[in-house]
Amino acid sequence: MMMAAYPELIRTEHLDEAHGPRITLPAESTEPVYTAVSFDRITESGVAGDARAASPEKGERMLSGCASALADIIVRDPWAKKSSHLVSLR
C-alpha cells in the first residue's frame, strides 16, 4: 500500500531484503483483550511479512478494498441508536 500511497518513501534498493516475521491480526487471537505490541519487538529489521512481491498495483487494489469495506461499514451505521432501544423519561 505504501508503494501506491507514498512511493517516494520506498527504498527499492532494499526490496530483496524486505521480508520478516508474519504478524497475526488481533481478530485471529482467542484472547479476550488485544494488547498492542511495539513493532520493534516483532521485527528488528522493521519489516513484517514479505514485501518482495509487492507492487504499486497491488497496493492500489488493497487501498481500494479497504476504502470499500470502510464505506460499507459507514453506510450500515452500526453506531446509530435504534429507536426501539431508547427509553422515554416522560
Tell whether the model's pLDDT for residue 64 goes beyond 90: yes
Name the average pLDDT for the chain. 82
Pair 34, 11: CB distance under 8 Å? no
User: Where would I find the H helices in 6-49?
Assistant: 39-42
Helix, strand, coil percent values for the chain (each to nearest 5): 50, 0, 45
Instruction: Return d(Cα 20, Cα 42) in angstroms, integer.
Output: 9
Tell whether the model's pLDDT for residue 49 goes beyond 70: yes
Grid cell at residue 65: 478494498
